[in-house]
Amino acid sequence: MLARGPSRRSATRNPGARPDFRFPPAMRKSSVRRFGRILGQLVPHPTLSSRSEPSNVVETISDGRIMCSTRITSCVAAFGPRGNWMRHNAPLLPSGQPKSVLRGAMSVAGLFAGIGGFELAFSRAGFKTRLLVEVDPAARAVLKTRFPDAEVRSDVCDLSSLPPDNTIVTAGFPCQNLSMAGDKSGISGPKSGVVGKLFELIMRHQPATVVIENVYFMLQLDSGRAMEWLVTQFERLGYHWAYRVVDTMGFGLPQRRRRVYLLACRNVDPRRILFADNDPIANIPTLSLTRPLGFYWTEGRSGVGLTVDGIPPLKVGSALGIPSPPAVLFPDGEVLTPSLPACEELQGFPRGWTDVVGINKGRNPAWRMVGNAVSVPVAQWVARRLKTPGTVLELTQTSISKGNRWPQGGWNVGEGRVGIAASAKPVLTEAPSISQFRDTSWSRLSDRALNGFIDRAENGGLRMPENFLDTLRQATRKTPTLR
């Protein structure tokens, strides 16, 4: 959130000019005023004199900038270019520590909570959710039903504080501007830019751990600009961080869904959570009509998401709540789409999770909410590792170069940024066949949808598995409907 920009006072290259710190456009001016109060609470670097104690922190506020006095500047400078301030004030726990580092600290605040994927996962690992914040009224109805003991708030932008004993913040902030299917406007976009509010709250309360989940595409969009921005904020706030691309398919669910999990910690090595497990990369399954093949029937020209014995990532459907889950061609010739309860299960939720009072069933938003959700078993792996960190594995290290797409994993624990080559499937959990999720609630793909896909695929020039389109042409048609 804090990005150095050229100060108006340094325009003349005055060596005594005072630096400024700029907030992203998505943040309110009130955030700037609060930030001034927060900086006044920073612990000075131990080698600084008592004169570095901040006073009269904010001199002027103009165009989202804070002009800081030289005294607060010396305090902030103690962070160093890579967050080294933390090494003086909150050393990492030793990697050999065998017991949970979160004993007696079990409180979770879920921001951008959706339907509670993070929170369901953390509750299964023994954590208690105190606060949930979600702007979608339909998703809030789910949260109020499924987490009756938690306080549910409507908008993170109106949140001024976290629970006083909160130690873990989870955040699956909006991905619309970072997704391959979105407008690709990036981290400063009108939707994704709200993440600035998250860092305002982190500055004020300094939670022990922050867990972020978002789309894999942000590692390459604008050469990883979003990741650069996120980790820079954590470094400047004194956190150590690690991130890893993880696939839902590796956690016992037949959905190919790669997501970035970014973990920032104040008092534990985040590598012990994200890089203590690494199942060797399995062989890529061969595309064959003898096994179920999942695909996006809404595509066909630029990509179809072919997935062997599973489905490609669940999406949000249309803005009107019209469902568009992936289709599956089964070896028996049926082309079916999963029902909403089946999609809930394919995300790790109990069937009927979104079937609550307060949701407009006419234009059912549940499809959108399930498509946006965090996969429960992946988040549960993170939660369990937070309770019992493991030993950091020896993994192949790569570089993180500014201006290039980011690798599959990486970290900075006070000694600079390091890229990591790691499997997207950390644990050895074989995904069952998609056939095990098939039941009479699945529906045949309509004739119009199936014919439209075949036409687009034929004209799109994409390579398809042998006989795939011919098999679709011969598939059992919509009438009679499978119920």
Catalytic residue annotation = 175
Q: Assess whether pLDDT exceeds 70 at residue 29.
A: no
Shared domain check, 226 and 135: yes
Q: Among the three residues 57, 78, 99, which one is the final residue of a domain in this structure?
A: 78
Tell me how many domains the chain contains: 2
Rounded mean pLDDT of the chain?
79
pLDDT band (50, 70, 90) for residue 281:
low
| Cross-strand partners of 110 | 132, 170
Task: Judge whether 254 lies within some domain.
Answer: yes
Query: How far apart, in whole angstroms, are the C-alpha atoms of residue 234 and residue 156?
Result: 19
Mean pLDDT of 220-231: 89
Residue 56 phi/psi, 5-degree rounding, is 45, 55
What are the pLDDT digits (tens) for 230-250?
999 999 999 999 999 999 999
Q: Are both 57 and 175 inside the same structural domain?
A: no
In a domain, residue 55? The reply is yes
Q: Residue holding tokens 């062989």? A: 283
Q: Do residue 165 and residue 276 come from a single domain? A: yes
Query: Which of 140-149, 152-161, 354-363 is least confident?
Result: 354-363
Contact 114, 266 (CB under 8 A): no
Q: Distance between CA 195 and CA 442 in Å, rounded? A: 37
pLDDT of residue 358: 75
Q: How far is residue 231 from each of residues 82, 133, 180, 196, 198, measured CA to CA in Å?
A: 10, 23, 21, 13, 13
pLDDT of residue 215: 87
140 plus 185 within the same structural domain: yes
pLDDT confidence band for 479 (50 / 70 / 90): low
* 57 & 148 share domain: no
| DSSP H helix total and E strand total for the chain | 13, 19
Q: What is the amino acid identity at position 116?
A: G
- Better-predicted residue by pLDDT, 192 or 234: 234
Residue 342 domain-assigned?
Answer: no
Does some domain include residue 289?
Answer: no
Question: CA–CA separation, 16 vs 434, rounded Å?
Answer: 65
3 pLDDT higher than 80: no
Tally of CB atoms within 10 A around 181: 12
Which is more confidently placed, 23 or 240?
240
Q: Are residues 26 and 125 in the same domain?
A: no
Residue 251: the pLDDT is 93
Residue 452 has pLDDT above 60, yes or no: yes
Single-letter code of the amino acid located at 417: R
**What is the mean pLDDT of the segment spanning 307-311?**
96
Say if residues 33 and 61 touch (Cβ distance below 8 Å): yes
For residues 59-73, give the mean pLDDT: 31
Omega cis (within 30) before 480: yes
Q: Tokens in use for 146? A: 């499924």
How far is residue 288's CA from residue 296's CA, in Å, rounded to a whole number? 17
Please compute Rg for the chain using Cα positions. 24
Given 25, 60, 78, the domain boundary residue is 78
User: Of 409 and 36, which is predicted with more confidence?
Assistant: 409
Burial class (CB in 10 A: 0-12, 13-18, 19+), 308: middle
Judge if 270 and 162 occupy the same domain.
Answer: yes
Spatial distance between the Cα atoms of 10 and 19, rounded to a whole number of angstroms: 8
Is it the case that residue 193 has pLDDT exceeding 80?
Answer: no
In a domain, 234, yes or no: yes
Specify if 303 maps to a domain.
no
Same domain? 131 vs 216: yes
Q: Are residues 268 and 129 in the same domain?
A: yes
Taking residues 408-413, report their average pLDDT. 97
Clarify whether residues 160 and 231 are in a common domain.
yes
pLDDT at 271: 98
String of DSSP letters for 207-228: -SEEEEEEEGGGGTGGGTHHHH
Domain termination site, one of 63, 78, 93: 78
Q: Which domain covers residue 122, as residue numbers? A: 107-282+374-421
Name the amino acid, one letter, at 81: P
Q: Is the pLDDT of residue 124 over 60?
A: yes
- pLDDT, residue 109, reads 96
Residue 456 resides in a domain = no
Per-residue pLDDT for 44 more than 80? no
- Residue 463 is assigned to a structural domain of this protein: no
Q: 460 vs 158, which has greater pLDDT?
A: 158
Between 289 and 429, the more confident residue is: 289
Q: Report the pLDDT value the prediction gives residue 460, as an integer from 0 to 100.
A: 83
**What share of the chain in percent tops pLDDT 90?**
56
Same domain, 271 and 405: yes
Q: Please give the model's pTM, rounded to 2 decimal places.
A: 0.78
pLDDT bucket at 302, cuts 50 / 70 / 90: confident
Average pLDDT over residues 439-446: 96
Statement: residue 18 has pLDDT above 70: no
Sign of CA dihedral 340, 344, 317, 301: negative
167/250 same-domain check = yes
Task: Kindly report the CATH number assigned to the domain that includes residue 388.
Answer: 3.40.50.150
Q: What is the pLDDT of residues 343-388, one digit of tens each?
A: 999 999 999 999 998 776 666 789 999 999 999 999 999 999 999 9
Burial of 208 by CB count in 10 Å (0-12 exposed, 13-18 middle, 19+ buried)?
buried
Q: Are 235 and 177 in contact (CB under 8 A)?
A: no
* Region at 381 (left for phi over 0; alpha for psi -120 to 50; beta for the rest): alpha
pLDDT at 118: 97
Contact 329/335 with Cβ under 8 angstroms? yes
pLDDT at 375: 97
pLDDT of residue 8: 35
Q: Three-state DSSP class for 77?
A: helix
